[in-house]
Amino acid sequence: MFELNESSHRRLNPLTGEWVLVSPHRTDRPWQGQVEKASREQIAAYDPSCYLCPGNERAGGARNPQYSSTFIFDNDYSALQSDAPGESFSARKSHLPDSDLLVAQVERGICRVGCFSPRHDLTLASMSADGVERVVEMWSEQFRTLSAIEFVRYVQIFENRGALMGASNPHPHCQIWATESIPDEPAKEQRELNAYLAKHNRCLLCDYLEYELSRERLILQNAGFAAIVPFWAVWPFETMIISRRHLPDINHFDEQTSKELALTLQQVTRCYDRLFDVPFPYSMGFHQRPVDGEPHQEWHFHAHFYPPLLRSATIRKFMVGFEMLGSPQRDITAESAAEKLRQVCATI
């Protein structure tokens, strides 16, 4: 038997069927690579040049209302078009001339931006509990509204926080993309969730959560949700938030469950900020059932946090070389990452 904390090994992600290489013996290797500047910038509550602040003009020329809570609008530079040409979804698959190798397909969609607060200087970690609850309400309303559009088959809610994750504006906000097809990552999960249900007649994430609630990868929990560093984590301090009940999407939440999700998000993001004492960058998003009219009893609501910081506020993880050409690799084990996060969470 090999030791998980000593020997190189690989771990299977049962949600995708993909592997991650783990190399715990490399944690002490010296670092002479790129070092970032730690973010210590003081951000004002209102920025007259910010295109998301209340009353300001956006890049596309529209002016924001003087909103006092959350604010949602169609992205001025949307990655998807709702009026893209074509007939039915199945009829638009098009092989380019003289080739079965070059295949293109029209993809309709809607991209929206959701501001968490009129305050330019807040984050999920620094907002009030009521404020985060209003954000959850916004997500639920948008999921319900976009799901009702005839051509929409998936609604992806996500947040990029910090310049390291490509966020071009520090104003607290998320994006919501409604797509005509199911994107690759949730499609992989749907395949594996279906396969597990067919084999065991049980939900994969229900079983996984039951296992992890008594293990060292658990960070925190409440009556509605648990935050875990998954056994197969790729990013150094990657976490998952999993609903304690088998709920397929955010619209199946009652008022108390929404409050518990808001509390969990607030706690996890505060733990991140405390880890290296900097505003912690990440990409975060929810995976929930497709909205294609099928029942999807296999789906179980969960969120993924993918933060890039590795050893400190100034050293980040890069996906290069073997990771691009072979498979992802990490040095810090999921167990040691969870221990560090639990330690900082205990101080909040």
Cα–Cα distance measured from residue 154 to residue 132, given in angstroms and rounded to the nearest whole number: 24
Whether the CB-CB separation of 161 and 281 falls below 8 Å is answered with yes
Residues, the chain: 348
Coil, helix or strand at residue 298:
coil
- Pick the closest to residue 336 from 275, 267, 295 (CA basis): 275
Residue 342, H or E segment: helix 334-345
- How many helices and strands, by DSSP H and E, does the chain display? 6, 16
Q: Which amino acid is at 302?
A: H
Q: Select from 69, 164, 72 the least CA-distant residue to 111.
A: 72
SS3 content of the chain, % helix, strand, coil (to 5): 25, 20, 50
Q: Are residues 229 and 238 in contact, defined by beta-carbon separation less than 8 angstroms?
A: yes
User: Which candidate in 171, 173, 302, 304 is catalytic?
Assistant: 173
Active site residue 246: no
Distance linking the first and last C-alpha atoms of the chain: 38
Q: 147: how many CB neighbours lie within 10 A of its CB?
A: 18
Question: Any idea which residues carry the catalytic annotation?
Answer: 173
